[in-house]
Amino acid sequence: MKTNKKIPKNKKKEIYICLPTHNEEKNLENCLASINLASKFVSNYIIKTFVCLSDCNDKSDEIAIYCKQKYPKINIEILESKKSKLNAQKKKCCNKFQ
């Protein structure tokens, strides 16, 4: 059965971005800065960014917190997992969409 749900014109569409990370302190800020820059080109969308920290031993968590404050337009949510990269992708991030 096909449904034709129309999105009201005044309601913005959403883009969800999931970044599974494991010890990415060297790359995380540049990655989030790039997403923030790209968000200017899709101003008619709401961007929600999930940073899934997977058993990080470096400063990835601190960088994620810093970027959450620095880039409010991309709505960063920080999720933590202690098991594995796959666990961070499957369980923490993907459950947000169910």
Q: What is the pLDDT of residue 81?
A: 84
Q: What is the pLDDT of residue 56?
A: 92
Q: What is the pLDDT of residue 11?
A: 77
Number of helical H runs and strand E runs in the chain? 3, 3
Instruction: Give the domain range for residue 85.
Output: 13-97
Total domains in the chain come to 1
Per-residue pLDDT of the chain (98 residues; tens, 9 = 90+): 566 666 666 778 999 999 999 999 999 999 999 999 999 999 899 999 999 999 999 999 999 999 999 999 999 999 998 765 555 555 555 555 54
* 1 assigned to some structural domain: no
- Separation CA 60–CA 52 (nearest Å): 10
* 7 assigned to some structural domain: no
* 59 assigned to some structural domain: yes
Q: What is the pLDDT of residue 2?
A: 65
Sign of the Cα pseudo-torsion (83, 47, 65, 37, in order): positive
Cβ atoms of 51 and 92 closer than 8 Å: no
DSSP element (H, E) containing 19: strand 13-21
Neighbours of 12 (CB within 10 A): 13
